[in-house]
Chain A
Amino acid sequence: MVKPTQGAPRRRIAPQVIPQVITGLEPGPFHARIAALNHQHAWTNWMGFASPAVLDSVEFEYFAIRNQTTLFDISPMCKYAIEGPDAERVVNRLVTRDIGRLSPGRVTYAIWCDEDGQVIDDGTIFRLADDCFRLCCQEPQLAWLSDIAWGFDVTIRDVSREIAALSLQGPTSAALLRSLGVKAIEALKPFGIASIRIGECEVDVSRTGFTGDLGYELWMRPPDAARVWDRLMAAGDNWGLRAIGYQAVEMARIEAGFLLPKIDFLSARSALRTNRPSTPFELGLDAMVDLAKPHFNGRRALLRLAGERPARKLFAVEIERDKPAANALVYHRRKREVGMITSALWSPTCKRNIAYAWLDAPFGQTGTDDLWVEIYLQREIRWERRMARCRIVDKPFFVHQRRRQTPPANM
């Protein structure tokens, strides 16, 4: 035993034990229900929440989106309430399109830019009342919104945790809601919002989604989340309802022509290299930019950029044969490197090999011929390289007339 040394009395310092901060993923409002169905135990990190990548088979889940109806938890989306007398001015200052044309009870897709006209993020804007908006997007925007709103009479709140949300997508989604006695969907047009009840729970429904098909998003209070889920699931058998994971949603997203930050483009707020962010014109989102409206963030830069040829541009491309070309390089005449593929997919519904490609000017803008994609294939542990011809096509790859039909079809 070691004896304390003589001399100065030793002071006992009681260490203050702080429990280690948990750095894992947080369960979302539907977690218990999803976990019970997650036979793959495959979770991904979506804004700190455990989000299912795939529950049992991505093929089943994908075809459920296209042929039945599906439930996907979108609660991790960032959601902000923008309210007050200047709310419309603030939202109009934020986004590049004219928000004055958005009536209460309607939703729109919008993008916003920094002072250099480079895209920061995209999202959907819900106009809940004249002076009350909700912004839904992928990445946190509170600091940016505070900067935008400085000097205006408006309150901005992060309501991400106050709202649980489900995406109900698929051809039979309207029939499912109908079977639950939801009348409001008959008159609900695409991008409309209505207040409904599912069981005892108050739910806001918007006819929005990322699949290019009939579908809804349901917004509710987190304590109601499990009850709404149970009601939908109980009624869903007749309509082929299936809970799905992120991978299937991603397939439908590419088919429907939507871009994803961090995959297809990089936010100007997170890019370090000056040539990494992209302008709306480079992303092919010209229609989202209303240069005629009064000043909004980045307008002067966009006015200048509108007169210039983009240095590069994002295109929808179709590639020959069937192997997806994710992350492949694009060549002109098989020789000169002129771009790269971001998202890519063999589309089971379109029966086409589709992708998004960044092409340096002038390729895609004037010279569209003789473009090739270099695909690496692993066939039974052996890598092979394949040059596949690609051509530029129109977006979206998939959109069904059901998406717009009002009242919605009873499949």
Chain B
Amino acid sequence: MTGAPDAIVIGGGHNGLVAAALLARRGMRPLVLEARNHAGGMLGDAEFPISPMPFALRPEICRALAIDVATRPMETIVASPLNSLSGTLRVSGSRLDGGSPQQAEAFRQLVERLARQAEALSGMLLRAPPRLDGAGPRDLLALAGTGWKLRRLGKVDLRDLLRIALSNVHDLVEDELGLGLPGALLAMEATLGGAMGPRSPGTVLTLLYRMASNGGRRMMPVGGPGALTQALAAAVTRAGGEIRLNAPVERILVEGDRAAGVALSNGEIVRASLVLSSAAPRTTLLDLLGPGHLDAEWVRRCRNMACTGMVARLDFDLLAPPRLAGGEVLEADQRLVVAADAGTVETAFNAAKHGKLPDDPVMEACYDAGSRRLRVSVQFIPHSPRGGWTEANRQMLETSVRRQLGFVLAGFEDSVTASRMMAPADIETAYGIPGGHWHHGELRIDQMLMLRPFDGAAGYRMPVEGLYLCGAGSHPGGDISGAPGFNAANAALAARRH
């Protein structure tokens, strides 16, 4: 990069990189400031990626950034820790193997219907959320477009969508699939990364959110999460942007109610009139900017954002690739979901809700053959368990996870040589995310669309001129879609044109 930057992007996670790459491709000179020693944020740490199984970027974003990340779909293996031999299903998209033909048919019908409904809603993802006040003709046109797509679902699908949209995923799968593993999978899909149980109202909406990307199919970039990070970082530098690692931002500078740059924690000042922050909304607004630049009501709404995460990450070093109880090896393009049914997912949530570690944790896992590590995301681990994250609590968590995995993987216990753990509180500390929440804020109906990250703060543009939120805390939210970064950069570019 030559010359001083004219835009600063705080945080080099995938959303920060997407935002920087788009700004650079539109002729700006963005500087990405990343606190850690690697780009890619929660999926960028090659040693210990926090979210090891990303969904692929939206294809529209890949086109706009001219990047080509080869991905392949992952097959999901759902295994019940209660009944390991008969309790295993293989799921690929809407196709379900290993169960009865009736089960497979019901699953196919439900997943295909949800995918159609999610697709109709997905138009909202790559646009700024509709405004509650003073919607312009463009907003109304965009809303009308989504309305038209919804109408084209047809009477049956639309009526069904309206019926289930605000209901809970537990009831949905119980009605449509009955008890058992297929329901366990959808209950996990709907709740993974958040702090709501399958019986919490609105979890069908989070399921639809997941289904809106790739029809709900999990994708893995060829070469792992690192390949995605590298492609995005390369897109930034290729277009004239710069990425600086080990450069934690301490404060956003404001002059005359306009963003003027940032101060790094080593005291260095970097000036730019445009600052995009992919840090969590609370971190950006209350720590980096400071409440003194914001109205008290705004600060209160920001403080009260629901953003307590419930995912713990554990890595197990293994002597040999893990084998399922039936004897097959868990391949690199397979992920393992461990849960018996939607009810056991809810039971795990109930414990976490009251600050207890679940007796029978539910989780998803994948195996990285290169490092010989099984990477496990354990869902419904409380952020602040009773007594805090003592050695005893950590031990209890690891023991219960190993026990559950021992039920579904043959000889697992004997194969483990080492393990590491990041509880939600550790993720909070390491990545500066309040609550350690994957999505920087719970994805639920009162924190979605024009209410994301919170009422009044939607639309990426912050009250201080030239400051934008571009992280997962903003619409449309978490998972590796890149959409918040993409939308925020577009909003910033549109404001500069005026």
Chain A interface (Cβ < 8 Å from any Cβ of B)? 89, 93, 114-115, 144, 147-148, 150-152, 294-295, 297-300
Contact = CB atoms under 8 A, between A and B. Distances in A.
Given A114-B297, A152-B292, 10 more contacts: A115-B295, A115-B456, A147-B297, A147-B299, A150-B300, A151-B290, A151-B291, A294-B257, A295-B292, A295-B293
A298 B299 contact: no
A300 B303 CA distance: 21
B431 interface: no
Interface in B266-295: 286, 290-295
Contact of A152 (B257, B291, B293, B298): B291
Contacts of A297: 295-296
B292 A147 contact: no
B300 to A, nearest CB: 5
A115 B292 contact: no
B286 A115 contact: no
A269 to B, nearest CB: 11
Contact of A115 (B290, B291, B297): B297
Nearest to A303: B257
Interface string B450-477: 0000001000000100000000000000
Contacts of A148: 296
8 contacts: A89-B292, A114-B295, A147-B299, A150-B299, A297-B295, A300-B257, A300-B295, A300-B463
Interface string B177-198: 0000000000000000000000
Nearest to A295: B293
B296 to A, nearest CB: 4
A150 B303 contact: yes
A31 B7 CA distance: 65
Contacts of A150: 291, 296, 299-300, 303
A297 B257 CA distance: 13
A299 B286 CA distance: 18
A114 B456 CA distance: 14
Nearest to B303: A150
B338 to A, nearest CB: 42
B286 A151 contact: yes
Interface residues of B, number: 16
Interface string B285-328: 01000111111111110010000000000000000000000000
How would you classify the secondary structure of chain A's contact residues: helix, strand, loop or mixed? loop
A357 to B, nearest CB: 30
A114 B297 CA distance: 8
Contacts of A114: 295, 297
Contacts of A144: 296
A297 B463 CA distance: 12
A175 B496 CA distance: 66
How would you classify the secondary structure of chain B's contact residues: helix, strand, loop or mixed? helix
A115 B293 contact: no
Contacts of A295: 257, 292-294
Contacts of B286: 151
Contacts of A147: 296-297, 299-300
Given A89-B292, A93-B292, A151 B257 contact: no
A150 B303 CA distance: 10
Interface of B: 257, 286, 290-300, 303, 456, 463
Nearest to B296: A147
Contacts of B293: 295
Nearest to B463: A300
Contacts of A299: 257
Contacts, number: 41
A371 B371 CA distance: 86
Contacts of A151: 286, 290-292, 299
A144 B293 CA distance: 17
B463 to A, nearest CB: 6
A295 B294 CA distance: 7
A144 B295 CA distance: 12
Contacts of B463: 300
Nearest to A144: B296
Contacts of B299: 147, 150-151
A115 B286 CA distance: 17
A28 to B, nearest CB: 31
A259 B292 CA distance: 29
A125 B296 CA distance: 19
Closest 8 CB pairs of A and B: A115-B295, A151-B291, A147-B296, A115-B297, A148-B296, A297-B295, A295-B293, A147-B300
B296 A115 contact: yes
B298 A115 contact: yes
A88 to B, nearest CB: 12
Contacts of A89: 292
A36 to B, nearest CB: 45
Contacts of B298: 115
A298 B295 CA distance: 6
Contacts of A93: 292, 296
Nearest to B257: A295
Contacts of B291: 150-152
B298 to A, nearest CB: 6
Nearest to A90: B292
A147 B303 CA distance: 10
Contacts of B295: 114-115, 297-298, 300
A370 B456 CA distance: 43
Nearest to A298: B295
B178 to A, nearest CB: 45
A320 B40 CA distance: 76
Nearest to A92: B292
A198 to B, nearest CB: 39
A150 B297 CA distance: 11
A378 B23 CA distance: 74
Most chain A beta carbons < 10 A, residue from B293, B295, B456: B295
A147 B295 CA distance: 9
Contacts of A300: 257, 295, 463
Contacts of A115: 295-298, 456
Nearest to B298: A115
A298 B298 CA distance: 11
A144 B299 CA distance: 12
A295 B290 CA distance: 12
A185 B171 CA distance: 77
B189 to A, nearest CB: 37
Nearest to A115: B295
Nearest to A94: B296
Nearest to B297: A115
Nearest to A147: B296
Nearest to B256: A294
Nearest to B286: A151
Contacts of B303: 150
A294 B290 CA distance: 13
A287 B298 CA distance: 26
Contacts of B292: 89, 93, 151-152, 294-295
A244 B443 CA distance: 60
Contacts of B257: 294-295, 299-300
B458 to A, nearest CB: 15
A89 B291 CA distance: 11
Most chain A beta carbons < 10 A, residue from B297, B300, B463: B297
B134 to A, nearest CB: 12
A297 B299 CA distance: 11
A144 B297 CA distance: 9
A299 B257 CA distance: 10
A93 B303 CA distance: 18
A300 B256 CA distance: 12
A9 B305 CA distance: 54
A138 B412 CA distance: 70
Contacts of B297: 114-115, 147
A93 B296 CA distance: 9
Contacts of B456: 115
A147 B290 CA distance: 14
